[in-house]
Structures are given as C-alpha cells and as structure tokens.
Structure 1
Amino acid sequence: MSLEIPSPQVRVAVAADAQAACNVLRRSIAECCEVDHKNDRAILDAWLGNKTPQMVESWFVSPTNFSVVAELDGAVAGVALLTGAGKLALCYVLPEARGQGLGKAMLARVEEQVLCWGVKALQLHSTATGQGFFASRGYTDAGKVRSPYGVETVFFWKQLDASGDAGADATKRKRFCNCNSA
C-alpha cells in the first residue's frame, strides 16, 4: 500500500490569507534560504522587513497584483505573487511542504494568468535556493543581479507565448481562459 500525498489546492489569495501567507514567507526565507542570507542578521532583517501581515494584505488587495496561495489539508502552505508587469515577485512554500508540488502548481496558475493578460513572457529574480526549481520549469538564466537587501539573485525569464503572435492564438486562449474565476 502506498502513502498518497495530498495534491495542493491553489486558489486566488484574499485579504484574510495575509497572516498565514506572511508566516509562509518569513519561515521559507529564514529556514530554506540560508545559502542566500548566510544567517547574516542584517541581510535577513532587510529581506524580512516588509514581510508583515499588513504589507502582505496590501499586496493581495492591490488591483495591479495577482496573488495565489497553495493549501495542503486546508492550511496555507505556499504563496505566489505576480505583478501586472508580468514579474513573479514571490513564490515561497513552507519548509515542511517542499517537494510536494506546491511551487509547480502555483507557478502553473501564475503562468496561466500571464497568458490571460496577454503578456508574452514572465520574469523573476530567483534566490540561489530557487534557481534549480525555475531552471527545471523551463526558465532561462539571464545572469546575476544583486537584490536591494543584499542577496545575489538570478534573473530568469520564460517565453510563454510560443507563437510570438498575439493574434488568433491569444484570442483562443482568452476565450477559454479561467483568469477571472477565483
């Protein structure tokens, strides 16, 4: 008999998710990204400085952002945030939820949203911790960039509209797109 891992449920984030999502961000950064912050208190404090429930709530309710959470057994265990410019600003999971498909599920939902918006490519700045994950999902490494909080990141991008034509293919996608559903 095999032990079945529950599949993550990804849904649009709401203001009421801010506290749990903030916990995901803070724990993931502190516990999973040690190779990035090297336990340097100044870097960690700067990185976590804007990761408060109030700030996360403001990101979730902003009309220019698209945010999702991933749940395992009804509890928020992952969070991703896409800006209107087509930049993935956040994609984090709880340390104990790593390797259970949350990141893949959230990224797939965000990529779907990017296509619904008519944006042809998604870009992001990845930590060293997340570099392998994004590379394995087809993202192109475009070089290193230092973050405002002092961590070296990797600039990644991915072409999502393979046709390069925003015409008929995009129209077909939008007609069947589930972008506006929660």
Structure 2
Amino acid sequence: MAQSLTHDPNAWRAVAYADLELPNSEAVPYASLWADRLKKNNDAYVAKGDTRFAVANAPASESHIVVRSPTKTVVLSVLHTLTGCLPIRTDPVGNATLKRCPMRLAIYQNGRSTVADAGSGCFIEYGAQPNNVRPDLARNGAMGAYDVQAKTIRAGIVFQGEIAPECQFRVPVPQP
C-alpha cells in the first residue's frame, strides 16, 4: 500500500505498509532498514525448528511515513514481527490487533544515511476481511504527519473508532 503524496506535510495521512517476508523492489529499502531485526526474527523461527522460510524472511511487515524535502528524506518505520511485538488490545469487530513494536527513524541526505532506534511505536495487524474488503481505516487506522514548526513526525492510531492515547507519538527530526 503506497503512501499518498501531499503538498501539506502538516496534514494527517495514512501510513504505508510493506511486506518484508519476500520484499518487492519498493519494500527493499525498509527490509534493509530492519535487516538486523529480520535476521533475529528468522533465527527465532529456525531455533523452534521452523524452516519454512529458507528462501524468504519469516513473517514480517512494517508501516512507515516518509517526509521529503528538497535536501533530505526522513522515514519513520515500525517493524511488525511475531517475535518483536507485544499485543496491546484487539478489535473483534474490525478483526484487528493493536501491537507495540520497535520503531526507527532514518534520514537520507547528501548520499548518506543515518538510522536511529526511536523506541517503540504502534502497529495495527489486520486479520482477513470478509470478501477481501479493505480494512475500515476510520475504525482502525495508523496516520502520520510532519509538524513543520516543531520539526517532528507525528504518528497516531485510531483503534475501535477512537484515538488510542497510548499510540500517539512525536518523534523529533534531528537538524544539522
């Protein structure tokens, strides 16, 4: 699911998701961002005798918001793996689970990249929807925006139709 472009970085928009189990060309940068954690997740599956993922990663996905300026690109990414996340609560009606997972901030500027752990963030794991209907993002949705004045990425979750207070984050973007 690609993230929509906006001319107003302050405007909230849905985060984008990438499947990291067998990443396509669009997901490779996010798999690279999480290579160490993906290896740890893969090793955990092997340690349990699960070798189904010999040619791919064990189940993993991530959500991200990308902020671009003329001189740099900033990515806030949350990694979802079964071994790296903890459930917070579930929504049986929306068939979704809210989880706390690791979060990273990556900055790409002048041909260089900087990656920093950004604590933990929230991730919505969507279960199968009837008739393959897309999840109701007004009920369970992850959003992000860039606060130009404060120079922070804002990330937030609506879960079960209400703002999830434990999943509202402001991540400062380091300035040169």
TM-score range, shorter chain: under 0.3
User: What TM-score do you get using the length of structure 1 for normalisation?
Assistant: 0.26
**Under a length normalisation based on structure 2, what TM-score does the superposition of the two structures give?**
0.26
Whichever structure has more helix as a proportion of its residues is 1
Structure number with higher relative contact order (C-alpha < 8 Å, ≥ 6 residues apart): 1
